[in-house]
Chains A and B, each alone.
Chain A
């Protein structure tokens, strides 16, 4: 368990202080991967709440509190002549105590894969009821924390961002600190421990470079897909405009390739460069296929192998190469990564239909992103005609909702899940014929958890 305090100073009598980003930062800093964050107000006139950070709504809340416990209603607590041991400077604040009774003094938030489990519109507030004052909220982080290897990657990422110009570093830091699963760097680190030349620090450098490269591609993707949020935060394109997004993506594309090159292993450099080219080529295919949305399985598999699986594969292969693993191990891990990356993308597609994922349901449909469940539903004998008809027109809330219902009813989701699980088992079989120095169970566990996205 790790503990901390969130300190802040309020500026008005009633104020909603959004603590969400600070809590997220703590998760990253302390490395909590799965578990809980407990928050407790240390004041009798500060409450805690989870709700939407919309300015007019916050005014509604303040007005509601005033209606329920008016400031000038007259409170016995404020009659100092009837109280004992009244401290000097005791405020007249019976209303604030009564308002606090309407809120919570403590809350618990869930954390999964390093990310706060919050709905799209949910923010965590400390609610000042008797300000302005300096305030404190106690915080305990409880659960499964990142191991030393994960800390090495986080430290390396932080170190690299520290040396970059702020206009590029700040947006990337926001993305890095928002969490993410860190699957690719984890694969690099695991596979870099397989050969005779096991060097955790060098592996962390490669792992961090791979994560920066991945994030660079996401920044451009978000502009292309017109995405407004990623990992619960505004995308670079949405927050700072497409020009900045292009520049930040290019900067970290270049920096990551330089960091990889500076490691000084030409085979590793080539593997990562090949993967980057495959990603970029597949992005073009992906966007082109949106003209014939939702496409077919063959096209889907081709795009996914380039867009997602290539970096998984490269992460596994480059780690193994870095440690001078034998060619049969390198080959097995390359194939393992390819299959795992494809399965991962299939599982990711299913998240679009999950109301508990924390992402808006139907976002992929709205953005016409290639998706296997949708391809299967469009081919379905019963729901297919309606799905295709809806996808051929404009996709408003009603249409997206209906398509989501049809996909869910079609049996496409269990079919995709079975395929993803079968690919993971195929990936696991790739590991059977090679010596993995005791790491086989860890790799198998990571592979199976990577497709278990909605449990």
Chain B
């Protein structure tokens, strides 16, 4: 991923890069090899942002304090925008359904499959 693209997409979220976002990004890069090379980093970053975002919010665990929740919200929104701009429709829908699954389980106080597993499956929605 180019430095410029990273700078742009991490605006306001730079501090998260060294706090788990880069690790998640690298993991998801392994799950996007079926896409065009120029799209891969964007989709991997989208998945990483959504994973880190839900973790920041405390989804399914203890509620994050308000400012941290808002950072998590921004991660989700940016990940969603990256998907809207670069992912096939099936992947967009699969990502949304993954978040619906995790959040519905959290609201019901039931356990859900790990977010990472669901998002990796979502990336495979067009394979």
Q: A251-B100, A258-B93 are known contacts. Are A279 and B69 too (CB-CB below 8 A)?
A: no
Number of A residues, CB within 8 Å of B: 39
21 intermolecular pairs with C-beta atoms under 8 Å apart: A220-B69, A246-B58, A246-B69, A247-B60, A250-B76, A250-B106, A251-B104, A254-B97, A257-B92, A261-B84, A261-B93, A262-B93, A270-B84, A272-B84, A274-B81, A277-B78, A280-B78, A284-B12, A284-B67, A284-B74, A287-B66
Residue on B nearest A165 in the bound complex, by CB: B104
Q: A247-B106, A281-B74 are known contacts. Are A276 and B99 too (CB-CB below 8 A)?
A: no
Docked pose: A164 CA to B54 CA in angstroms: 20
Residues of A within 8 A of B66 (CB): 223-224, 287
- Encode B56-96 as 1/0 by CB contact (under 8 A) with A: 01111111101101110110111011011100010011011
Q: Is A396 interfacial (CB-CB < 8 Å)?
A: no
Residues of B within 8 A of A280 (CB): 70, 73-74, 76-78
Q: A220-B69, A223-B69, A277-B74 are known contacts. Are A251 and B81 too (CB-CB below 8 A)?
A: no
Q: A248-B103, A261-B89 are known contacts. Are A287 and B70 too (CB-CB below 8 A)?
A: yes
Residue on A nearest B95 in the bound complex, by CB: A254
- Encode A224-240 as 1/0 by CB contact (under 8 A) with B: 10000000000000000
Residue on A nearest B72 in the bound complex, by CB: A246
Q: Judging by beta carbons under 8 Å apart, are B92 and A261 in contact?
A: yes
Docked pose: A248 CA to B106 CA in angstroms: 9
Q: Is B2 interfacial (CB-CB < 8 Å)?
A: no
Q: Is A167 interfacial (CB-CB < 8 Å)?
A: yes
Q: Judging by beta carbons under 8 Å apart, are A244 and B81 in contact?
A: no
Docked pose: A164 CA to B104 CA in angstroms: 9
- Contacts of A245-288 to chain B: CB distance below 8 A: 245-248, 250-251, 253-255, 257-258, 261-262, 264, 266, 269-270, 272-274, 276-277, 279-281, 283-284, 287
Tell me the number of A-to-B contacts counted with CB atoms below 8 Å.
130
Residues of B within 8 A of A272 (CB): 84
Q: Judging by beta carbons under 8 Å apart, are A277 and B77 in contact?
A: yes
Q: 5 additional contacts, CB 8 Å, given A246-B64, A254-B97, A284-B67? A: A220-B69, A250-B103, A255-B96, A257-B80, A269-B92
Which of B66, B73, B106 counts the most chain A CB atoms within 10 A? B73
Docked pose: A287 CA to B71 CA in angstroms: 11
Q: A224-B69, A276-B81 are known contacts. Are A250 and B96 too (CB-CB below 8 A)?
A: no
Q: Judging by beta carbons under 8 Å apart, are B107 and A165 in contact?
A: yes
Docked pose: A272 CA to B85 CA in angstroms: 11
Docked pose: A241 CA to B67 CA in angstroms: 17
Residue on A nearest B96 in the bound complex, by CB: A258
- CB < 8 Å neighbour of A251 from B69, B73, B107: B107
Q: Is A243 interfacial (CB-CB < 8 Å)?
A: yes
Which of A223, A242, A243 counts the most chain B CB atoms within 10 A? A243
Docked pose: A261 CA to B70 CA in angstroms: 24
Residues of A within 8 A of B54 (CB): 250
Q: Judging by beta carbons under 8 Å apart, are A246 and B78 in contact?
A: no
Docked pose: A247 CA to B98 CA in angstroms: 13
- CB < 8 Å neighbour of A224 from B59, B70, B77: B70
Q: Is B108 interfacial (CB-CB < 8 Å)?
A: yes
Q: Judging by beta carbons under 8 Å apart, are B81 and A281 in contact?
A: no
Docked pose: A212 CA to B92 CA in angstroms: 18
Q: Is A168 interfacial (CB-CB < 8 Å)?
A: yes
Shortest beta-carbon distance from B49 to chain A in Å: 11
Shortest beta-carbon distance from A283 to chain B in Å: 5
Shortest beta-carbon distance from A304 to chain B in Å: 16
Q: Judging by beta carbons under 8 Å apart, are A243 and B63 in contact?
A: yes
Residues of B within 8 A of A254 (CB): 95-100, 103
Shortest beta-carbon distance from B10 to chain A in Å: 13
